[in-house]
Amino acid sequence: MARPSRTNDWGFPRWRGYGSERGATRVRLCDREGCTEPGDCPAPKAPNSPERWYFCQTHAGEYNRGWDYFAGLSAEEAARREAEEQQGASAYTQSRHQQWAGPGDGSRSGDEIRALGVLEVEVDATFEEVRAAWRRLAKANHPDVRPDDAAAADRFRAIQAAWDVLRTAEERRSWKPA
């Protein structure tokens, strides 16, 4: 009796590479007329429809630029659906304080970034540059220099608040326990 040969598909890891089957691989082409790229990005044919187009990445981006999710809905239905989706995405709002993809290298908080904007310096400015900007703006907007200008007094208060935020943060960074 002939003994059956052992295949290479048993166990982990698989002993043959993925995609090394002998049969032809079925590739779905992009549904855009004339496109020969693989269509691996599904897109709905209509709002709330289970039918899908399958586009390549280029045509999927083109399709999504013109997509209106709320097309055909009344204002009340659109507001209700948006509220439902916001409620479903509430877990993501917990991480909003991280300010992902914000300016800077992550070494400064959002308050510090806003304070740097008030002082009109770049996000990666050194503390010496921050101090020079604070002095320049404080001298230009000081109430003794511009006594009858209420807008300058407001700017001076904002400049002082920004300086306090940045000075405190710098002291916190440079403090070393004894």
Q: Which of 50, 54, 25, 51 has its CA nearest to residue 40?
A: 54
Distances in Å between the Cα of 124 and the Cα atoms of 65, 113, 117, 128, 136 are: 34, 10, 11, 12, 19
Other residues' Cβ atoms within 10 Å of the Cβ of residue 39: 21
CA dihedral over 101, 105, 106, 112, signed as positive or negative: negative
Provide CATH code, domain 110-172.
1.10.287.110
Residue 3: is it exposed, middle or buried by C-beta count within 10 angstroms (0-12/13-18/19+)? exposed
pTM attached to this predicted model: 0.43
- Each of the 178 residues of the chain gets a pLDDT tens digit; together they read 566 666 655 656 555 666 666 666 678 899 989 999 998 888 888 777 788 889 998 888 888 887 777 778 888 988 888 888 777 766 666 555 555 445 555 678 888 889 999 999 988 889 999 999 999 999 999 999 999 999 999 999 999 999 999 999 888 888 766 5
Whether 142 and 159 have beta carbons less than 8 Å apart is answered as: no
Q: Where are the domains of the chain?
A: 26-74, 110-172
121 φ, ψ (degrees, to nearest 5):
-120, 165
